[in-house]
Structures are given as structure tokens and as C-alpha cells.
């Protein structure tokens, strides 16, 4: 399984009223790391012709993330078939290696010209598996 990882540091803008990372920010991070992974691996002719939309999203929160903590976002695709792909994102405290949150998102592959779902080509599935 092909994974993609990136690090970020929690800033004041990420926090909610309890001084923990806001739940909405976790969803933004999930979306951002998925996009980074896609753009880093897919050829430009594919990224110009296709994009992904989020169909469903499940996230389980385990522990809070706090200001100035370094967070690892780790993502990988667990299934691709037809027009959909299921991607996992693990949000981990980089210092302690403790899992803070884990998401599973179903994405739909879309044609940029048609704005309709498109079958995921075999070459794209192979890149992410």
C-alpha cells in the first residue's frame, strides 16, 4: 500500500474555545492531505482532466491536539473501484506517535469537462496501491 505523509504544527488559528484543534480543522486537514497526495503522484494530464469530490466522510476522534504540537498526517487508499475510492487519513502526534484521529472518506472521481463521475483508470488505481 502506497502512503503519503506530511507534517504540520498546530497554530492558534486551528484551536476551538477549549484550546483543542477544532473538529472542522481536522476535516480540512483530511481534504488537504488527500489533495497533496493526489497532486504529488498523478501525472499532470490526469490532474488537469479529473478531480475528486467527497461523497461521505467518517472521522473518529481519539485525543486532542494542542497548540504547537507537530502533527503527522498519513494517508493511503484502501479501495478503488468503479468511480469511487476509499481513503484513510491517520492524524498522529509526531512526538508521541499517538493516534489523535482517523478518518475514512469515500471520494468520487470526476471528469473536469463533463462534471460527471468517471471510471477510475487502472493506471490511477496502480499509482495509489
Q: Which domains does the chain have, with CATH numbers?
A: 3-127 (3.10.129.10)
pLDDT of residue 128: 85
Say if CB 93 and CB 69 are below 8 A apart: yes
* Dist CA 83 CA 124 (whole Å): 12
pLDDT band at 79 (very low <50, low <70, confident <90, very high): very high
pLDDT per residue over 4-50, tens digit each? 999 999 999 999 999 999 999 999 999 999 999 999 999 999 999 99
- Alpha-carbon separation of residue 80 from 83, 108, 121 (angstroms): 8, 10, 10
* Whole-number average pLDDT of the chain: 96
Cell digits of residue 116 = 460527471
Cell digits of residue 56 = 461521505
> What three-state secondary structure class fits 78?
strand
pTM: 0.93
For 113-116, the CB contacts below 8 A with 24+ separation are 113/49
Rounded CA Rg of the chain: 15
Amino acid at each position: 500500500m502506497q502512503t503519503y505523509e506530511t507534517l504540520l504544527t498546530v497554530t492558534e488559528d486551528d484551536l476551538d474555545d477549549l484550546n483543542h484543534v477544532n473538529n472542522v480543522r481536522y476535516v480540512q486537514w483530511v481534504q488537504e492531505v488527500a489533495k497533496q497526495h493526489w497532486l504529488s503522484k498523478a501525472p499532470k494530464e490526469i490532474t488537469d482532466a479529473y478531480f475528486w469530490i467527497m461523497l461521505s466522510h467518517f472521522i473518529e476522534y481519539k485525543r486532542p491536539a494542542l497548540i504547537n504540537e507537530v502533527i503527522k498526517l498519513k494517508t493511503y487508499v484502501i479501495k478503488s473501484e468503479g468511480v469511487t475510492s476509499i481513503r484513510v487519513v491517520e492524524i498522529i502526534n509526531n512526538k508521541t506517535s499517538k493516534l489523535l484521529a482517523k478518518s475514512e472518506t469515500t471520494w468520487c472521481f470526476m471528469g473536469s469537462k463533463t462534471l460527471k463521475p468517471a471510471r477510475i483508470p487502472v493506471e490511477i488505481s496502480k499509482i495509489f496501491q
